[in-house]
């Protein structure tokens, strides 16, 4: 059997989904501007790994259970809304960092790290950044609903599980690669310098975005 048409359908659908603005993109943007490339890349890898969870439950048939069990899906959505709200609150509590102030004075981000009596606070550990990205993706119902809908529509029931796992591997790597690219773009020195002049306000704005995602998800579930 020729699986290329099936694979290409998945590639196009996934590309459109991953490139559309959502919680994953907002998180990578915030990590890039607030903490730099290392943190953003590890969060991007975490997001990619989160895709594996969606792939696994689709392969095991749990996607069918979620699709046909409104109560289970509602619980999943509320968990997602709660976590997005928590991320939003953390962003809203952002304060002006010393590096933001120094960049606003015209110093480079590298120079800002060494100016003043206190060193710039280090960002999250690699593990913490990975975990944040992983949980934001796993608890993102938009991602879950995409996979629950995509597999039954795009993948034939007779397609071998190994081939389906290959589709999942592609989506995992493509997702991580895309958000790593976003991380690189938004941590380029000239781009980041412009944003960092008002870094804590951008953090707070993104916090409102996360809270908006959470509220929208919660109200949609209640409706």
C-alpha closest to that of 64 among 142, 153, 140, 134 = 153
Q: What is the pLDDT of residues 174-203, one digit of tens each?
A: 999 999 999 999 888 877 776 666 656 667
Q: What is the pLDDT of residues 125-168, one digit of tens each?
A: 999 999 999 999 998 877 887 787 777 777 887 889 999 999 99
Domain ranges for the chain: 24-114+124-222
DSSP 11-30: HHHHHHHHHS-SHHHHHHHH
Q: What is the pLDDT of residue 17?
A: 82
């Amino acid at each position: 059997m020729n699986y290329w048409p099936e694979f290409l359908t998945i590639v196009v659908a996934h590309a459109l989904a991953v490139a559309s603005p959502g919680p994953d993109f907002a998180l990578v943007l915030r990590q890039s501007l607030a903490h730099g490339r290392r943190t953003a890349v590890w969060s991007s890898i975490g997001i990619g790994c989160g895709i594996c969870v969606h792939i696994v439950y689709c392969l095991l048939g749990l996607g069918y259970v979620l699709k046909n069990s409104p109560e289970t899906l509602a619980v999943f959505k509320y968990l997602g809304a709660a976590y997005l709200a928590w991320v939003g609150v953390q962003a809203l509590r952002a304060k002006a960092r010393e590096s933001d102030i120094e960049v606003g004075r015209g110093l480079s981000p590298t120079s800002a790290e060494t100016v003043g009596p206190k060193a710039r606070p280090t960002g999250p550990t690699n593990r913490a950044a990975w975990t944040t990205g992983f949980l934001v993706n796993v608890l993102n119902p938009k991602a879950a609903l995409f996979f629950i809908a995509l597999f039954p529509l795009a993948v034939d029931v007779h397609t071998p599980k190994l081939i389906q796992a290959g589709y999942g591997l592609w989506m995992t790597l493509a997702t991580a690669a895309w958000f790593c690219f976003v991380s690189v773009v938004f941590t380029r020195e000239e781009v980041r310098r412009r944003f960092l002049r008002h870094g804590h306000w951008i953090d707070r704005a993104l916090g409102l975005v996360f809270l908006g995602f959470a509220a929208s998800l919660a109200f949609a579930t209640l409706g």
